[in-house]
Amino acid sequence: MGRSLENKKQIVDDLKAQLAQSQLAIVIDYTGLSVAEITQLRDQLYPLGASCKVTKNTLMGIAIQGDTTWEPLEEFLKGSNAFLLVQDDLPGAIKAYQAFQKASKKTTIRGGVMEGQALTEDQVKALTELPTKDQLYARIAGGINAVATKLAVGTKAVPTKLAVGLNEVPSKLARALQAVADKDKEAA
């Protein structure tokens, strides 16, 4: 039993909505994967802000028509494709896919599209060298923590130096008065 026209329109609308929120689309050849394996891949990608869509190439072709950001996907719409749509953590999602690929040995990357540019398999893999979202958060937190620590140390040093300076004022004043008094005694 085929899909109804209404059902196909709904699928195309869903694809358009997901593409609008995505930063990267990766096209993989999923020949030989079972439903359980695709579900496993989806489960690994979901926490990283990515999804795996298995849809007909014609429906994806309709979804990308007129959208300059995603039109380069057209060249990959041949054969059995699944589309990894990455919204958040680019390196994390690609690494999760690569771990799945290494374990299953059944899929290959055909290419991808990012910011209106078609990417080769090597270019997609190069994105894994970027820091993951968690690594970026750690770097930002470390930077903020370092600034706060330096600020705390600096603000603690100011009152300490001020107190030491204030303690010195009476003793220096007393020595100065004593020196003036000694000078007056000698002069007299």
49-88 tens-digit pLDDT: 899 999 999 999 999 998 899 999 999 999 889 999 999 8
Average pLDDT, the chain: 83
Report yes or no: 38 and 54 within 8 Å, Cβ to Cβ.
yes
φ and ψ of 26, to 5 deg:
-115, 130
Domain ranges of the chain: 5-130, 131-188
Predicted pLDDT of residue 10 = 93
* pTM of the predicted model over 0.85: no
Across 91-100, 142-151, 156-165, which has the greatest mean pLDDT?
Answer: 91-100
Superfamily per CATH, domain 5-130: Ribosomal protein L10, N-terminal RNA-binding domain (3.30.70.1730)
C-alpha to C-alpha distance for 86 and 109, rounded to whole angstroms: 14
Answer whether 60's CB lies under 8 Å from 73's CB.
yes
Average pLDDT over residues 12-29: 92
**In contact, 2 and 69? CB cutoff 8 Å:** no
Tokens of 98: 């690569």
